[in-house]
């Protein structure tokens, strides 16, 4: 799991913070749009869990739109930064935990796996999806998001910006194509197609929908029966 280890060991804490300090307006629009999409579907009464929360960027943004929100991340350093970042959000919490080994006793109304988390956390297998759905109450929802094909040029521009900052290795332009970004230091990020999302939704055994927003994000929303 190179990419998961990459986030835990290299792209964490302050480096991860710098990823989102982008100077590309279209990328910032994408980041805001993804959060807005989820916010519009919250009533304010939900208990929310975010998988792969990093330092809590999305957790903080959504804390005012739900009853409570917990973020988990595999990196101790990112979580340490997150505790400081979220100190003024009383209903928000962040902790170190692996999305493949969720140990919560309570269940959540909404679970989020955003920002192409399907790729970075390798959560596409049916058994992992089943475990995640097991943490959702009946009638609850799980949101997965990936990149729209229409956003490819801007996504590549964003990764090049990260490489220039020294946050990632140099982009291997010969191998980077068709929604897959590969860096010369071993980092690899893929994109799940609408067909991939449909397969995940179908295998879940629950009702689901797929929706694109802002021509940048594609969401798979699974409704637990």
Express each pLDDT in 150-195 by its tens digit. Answer: 999 999 999 999 999 988 889 999 999 999 999 998 888 889 999 9
Handedness of CA 36, 41, 47, 51 (dihedral sign): negative
What phi, psi does 100 have (nearest 5°)? -85, -5
In a domain, 17, yes or no: yes
pLDDT value of residue 1: 37
Burial of 2 (0-12, 13-18, 19+ CB in 10 A): exposed
Tell me, yes or no, whether 208 lies in a domain: yes
- Per-residue pLDDT of 98-133, as tens digits, reads 999 999 999 999 999 999 888 888 776 788 899 999
pLDDT of residue 13: 61
Domain count, the chain: 1
pLDDT 10s digits, 20-59: 999 999 999 999 999 999 999 999 999 999 999 999 999 9
* CATH label of the domain that carries residue 110: 3.40.50.150
Residue 196: per-residue pLDDT: 93
User: Considering the chain, what percentage of its residues have pLDDT values greater than 90?
Assistant: 80
139-173 in b/e burial notation, b at 16+ Cβ within 10 A?
ebbbbbbbbbeebeebbbebbbbbbeeebbbebee
141 is a domain residue: yes
Residue 2: per-residue pLDDT: 40
Q: How far is CA 134 from the centre of its chain?
A: 19
In a domain, 93, yes or no: yes
Mean pLDDT highest for which of 2-11, 96-105, 215-224? 215-224
For residue 45, give its domain range: 2-151+193-223
């Amino acid at each position: 799991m190179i990419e998961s280890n990459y986030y835990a060991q290299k792209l964490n804490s302050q480096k991860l913070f710098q990823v989102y300090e982008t100077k590309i307006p279209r990328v910032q629009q994408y980041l805001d749009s993804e959060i807005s999409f989820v916010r519009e579907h919250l009533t304010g009464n939900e208990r929310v869990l975010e998988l792969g929360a990093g330092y809590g960027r999305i957790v903080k943004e959504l804390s005012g739109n739900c009853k409570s929100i917990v973020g988990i991340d595999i990196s101790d350093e990112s979580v340490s930064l997150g505790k400081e970042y979220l100190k003024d959000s009383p209903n928000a919490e962040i902790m170190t935990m692996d999305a493949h080994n969720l140990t919560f006793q309570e269940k959540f109304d909404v679970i989020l796996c955003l920002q192409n988390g399907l790729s970075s956390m390798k959560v596409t297998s049916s058994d992992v999806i089943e475990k995640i759905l097991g943490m959702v109450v009946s009638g609850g929802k799980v949101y997965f998001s990936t990149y729209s094909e229409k956003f490819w040029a801007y996504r590549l521009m964003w990764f090049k910006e990260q490489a220039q900052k020294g946050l990632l290795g140099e982009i291997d332009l010969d191998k980077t194509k068709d929604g897959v970004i590969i860096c010369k230091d071993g980092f690899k990020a893929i994109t799940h197609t609408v067909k991939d999302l449909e397969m995940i939704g179908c295998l879940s055994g629950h009702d689901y929908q797929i929706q694109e927003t802002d021509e940048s994000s594609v969401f798979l929303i699974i409704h637990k029966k």
